[in-house]
Structure 1
């Protein structure tokens, strides 16, 4: 009966559906000296797991303080961001001022052209007035 139970546990073990308690039963069975002949091939597997479980790393590791490059990277990123915002806004303001200057220049040129035409017409009106006065004065 125990052999049938071990066979079903092995099937569950290879399907990864065993519980921790069932795996402990398998480990104890394979560490025992009485293992069924058709299951002897799995003895090294469970012996390895038992030995690996008991292994400990005993060598002392020197711990070096870590340098925090992330902090300097974030400081550099913030500096670049502030630099970009400051000079970007300054550049944008300069472009807007140049655009406003060009638009004002166009408007004043248009106004000057129309004003020039208007003064020419006013000069004709002045001649008309002078002629009209001559006619009224002669009559």
Structure 2
């Protein structure tokens, strides 16, 4: 009768349905010397649980609470950034805005720029033309969803 009870408890343990009291019974049974031969494979597992419960960590962990920041290198980096800025800075007060005195020349330049923009835009539009096909496919899937709803109504009754 005790062996049947242990086997039932093991089955409940494997399904995760045991209480703490039942698990204690299993640990006590597998700690004894009278374990059935076909249940010997569970003995190391329950023995491990008993031993691992008594283990303690005794080593000290070195924790660094203060970490010094080296401000010397921060100042060197700031000086380097300023020097690069002064070297490449140049004069930002240029008054030449690219204006044209001749209106015909200005019109020709604007026309050329707008034509270049138009060509680039048309090239970009042609690469996403496949999205119309995706939209058609999505609409077809919507019809399939309606068909699925109708068949569910038919077969549900």
Which category of TM-score, normalised to the shorter sequence, fits these structures? 0.3 to 0.5
Between 1 and 2, higher relative CO (CA 8 Å, sep ≥ 6) is seen in 1
Q: TM-score, normalised by structure 2?
A: 0.41
Higher fraction of helix: 1
